[in-house]
Copies of this chain bind each other. A is one copy, B any other.
Amino acid sequence: MPAHEQFVASNEAYVSTFDKGALPMPPAKHYIVVTCMDARVEPASQLGIGLGDAHVIRNAGGSAKEALRSIVVSQRLLGTREVAVFHHTDCGMLTFTNEELREKVKAETPAASEIVGEIDFLPISDLEDSVKTDVAFLKESSLLLQDTVYTGWLYDVKTGKIKQVV
């Protein structure tokens, strides 16, 4: 059974107790979490983010660079003034290089050969470094507001614990 066939039943259970229909669009606590798409990452429960509190941006690796468009929208239109970047242990982005993934895609899908070479998959070689680099990237971006608090963190998928890096 495709996974999406379970969405409706799960959502009906959610709707039966839903009482948050009046929440406004801007995040109540004015912050953004940037984190990985990893299946073992669940920001709401792991960081105590209540519904309506924060913007949550997720992509492969938790790249702040790729999140920039979303952060600009969040700051300029919806009033956020704090960004927390989380990367995590055992991340898939630690397991390959751009060249290796490009070659794999080309071998599996020859039709992709021409365009896959243009994609930077943003692999990570060192977790703490990647968090520091991402926070520095945001701090230095002229597109973002000066009065922003930036922090950087690691989440440990084996223990469930977070650790502040920067």
Contact = CB atoms under 8 A, between A and B. Distances in A.
A55 interface: yes
Interface string A83-94: 010000010110
A4 B47 CA distance: 9
Contacts of A13: 48
A119 B72 contact: yes
Interface string A13-36: 111001011110111111110000
Contacts of A60: 57, 69-70, 73-74
Task: Find the residue from A3, A9, A93 having the highest chain B CB count within 10 A.
Answer: A3
Q: How many copies does the complex hold?
A: 2
Interface in A53-68: 53-60, 66-67
B52 A14 contact: no
Contacts of A121: 69, 72-73
A11 to B, nearest CB: 5
Most-contacted residue by chain B among A57, A77, A159, A164 (CB, 10 A): A77
Interface of A: 2-4, 6-11, 13-15, 18, 20-23, 25-32, 37-42, 44-48, 51-60, 66-67, 69-70, 72-74, 76-78, 82, 84, 90, 92-93, 95-96, 101, 104-105, 108-109, 111-112, 115-116, 119-122, 142-143, 145, 149, 151, 153, 157-162, 164
Q: Would you list the 6 A-B pairs with minimal beta carbon distance, nearest first?
A: A10-B48, A18-B160, A60-B70, A27-B39, A3-B31, A37-B55
